[in-house]
Amino acid sequence: MRALSGLNRLIGFGLSMAALAAAALVAIPWMVRASGPEAFGMIVLGQNFGAIGAMVVAYGWGIAGPAEIARGTTESRLAEFLASVKVRVFLLGPVAVLTAAAAMLLATGRVDLAAVGAVVAVLPGLTSNWVFIGLGRPFVLMLTETLPRVAFTVVGIVAMETGSDALIGLIWQGVGLLVAFVASSWWVLRAFDYRHVGLAALPPLRTLLRDYRHGVASNVGSSLFVALPLVLVTVVAPAAQPVFALVDKLERQALVALVPVVSVLQGWVPRAADPASRARKVVIGASIGSVLIALVAGLWGQWPLHVLGDGQLTPSADVVALMGVVLGLSFYVIALAHTVLATYREMRALAMSTFIGTVVMIPLVVVGAYYLGAAGALAGIAGGLLVRMSIKLVVTSRCLQGPPPVNDMVLPSEEIV
């Protein structure tokens, strides 16, 4: 029965993530067709800045939140969710403005697409999917978040098909994200029996920002690691930017499609009294999975890239192979971070590994992109991922040899229950 339950969760989360990835990928050719390859490059540039902003808004709950929800009481879960709402709503406006401004400064074409792309990409920071991951409720996630997002993406595609600019497609995606936030929040508040505890009863905003700082440092660091390469390629090798932007987009959506595996493990590992045994299985299983992912993406990634580029952007074989390597390494790094290090509350070590990996990656991407274009940039990303993976494996080994995480940690928001 446990295996069947785990399979059901995997299927449920898989359907959600696959639907989101498919909707985003299907929209790409329409955006390219509606406004051109260069304009699409500006959209992706804005989305990269927005992705960083989304991690700031999410403030680390996507990594640490599922474990706390999985082992928490109804009261502590409610407090955790309300604390997240208080922080995320406060951060949304300023972060959206800053990311849009940054995208506009670097945009070399359609400034409006870069700005709106950034703002829309910030909105996923409002997601409550970490609550559903911790609860193991994938089908509720599908109803409250996935369906609104997919539905409004389809509305945007229809608008572009009938002659609208890619800007309209982006706006409809943003509407879907806002509807999803409202719907999922309504469900969570009802499920956790929200009545008398309000946002005003939570600790001060300054306290919440301080207490959750390590989570956001890791989140923002990871987002910077993902977003910076496109910015660097735009600056040092603008001719390679459209192809790199397409590869970057497919790689991100492929990772979204792989998230369900990590989502199931995020709730499975911390539920054990001593999670070390389960964590070891994750370390071994994820390593095998990452190799398979790299092989599949590297050998068969050419066709989807050609289709998504609407025949106007077709990466070379070496670029596709390196994309596979980056995708496999990215999956392994995420699996270690979200299932093992988050369970053992090693958020500071997680943030440090990301920082060091980013520092190593930046010069590698700059030099690689300047001399080798998209292929060189991908090789630089792979180098940074290897550094991150090595540090995480060292920390993981230390965690597995030590005592299990103490389950009596008092959350900052639990003083109100």
Cα–Cα distance for residue pair 296/301, rounded to 1 Å: 7
Q: Are 87 and 137 in contact (CB under 8 A)?
A: no
Distance of CA 97 to the CA centre of its chain: 20
Q: Is residue 139 part of a domain?
A: yes
| Residue 417 covered by a domain | no
Q: Please, what is the Cα angle at 314 between 312 and 318, to 5 degrees?
A: 165
In a domain, 257, yes or no: yes
- Residue 117's CB is within 10 A of a number of other CB atoms, namely 31
Q: pLDDT tens for residues 81-138?
A: 999 999 999 999 999 999 999 999 988 888 999 999 999 999 999 999 999 988 889 9
pLDDT at site 412 = 39
Q: What pLDDT is stored for residue 218 in this prediction?
A: 77
Nearest C-alpha neighbor of 80 from the set 94, 91, 64: 64
The H-or-E segment that residue 256 falls in is helix 241-268
Length of the chain: 417
As a whole number of angstroms, the distance between CA 386 and CA 325 comes to 10
pTM: 0.74
DSSP classification of residue 336: I
Residue (of 313, 292, 320, 299) closest to 378 by Cα position = 320
Looking at the 3D structure of the chain, how many domains does it have? 1
Are 43 and 170 spatial neighbours (Cβ–Cβ below 8 Å)?
A: yes
pLDDT for res 178: 97
| Within-domain flag for 198 | yes
Domain assignment present for 210: yes
Residue 53 maps to a domain: yes
Nearest CA to 310 among 18, 27, 59, 71? 27
User: What is the rounded distance in angstroms from the CA atom of residue 74 to the CA atom of residue 97?
Assistant: 35
Query: pLDDT value at position 104?
Result: 93
* Alpha-carbon dihedral sign for residues 124, 127, 132, 137: negative
SS3 345: coil
Instruction: Count the Cβ atoms, other than its own, within 10 Å of residue 409.
Output: 10
Q: What angle do CA 30, 33, 36 make, to 5 degrees?
A: 125
In a domain? residue 114: yes
Q: How many CA atoms lie within 13 A of 125 on its CB side?
A: 35
- The low-confidence residues of the chain, meaning pLDDT below 50, are 1, 407-417
Structural domain of 374: 2-412
Give pLDDT, residue 325: 97
- pLDDT score, position 77: 86
Does 393 reside within a domain?
yes
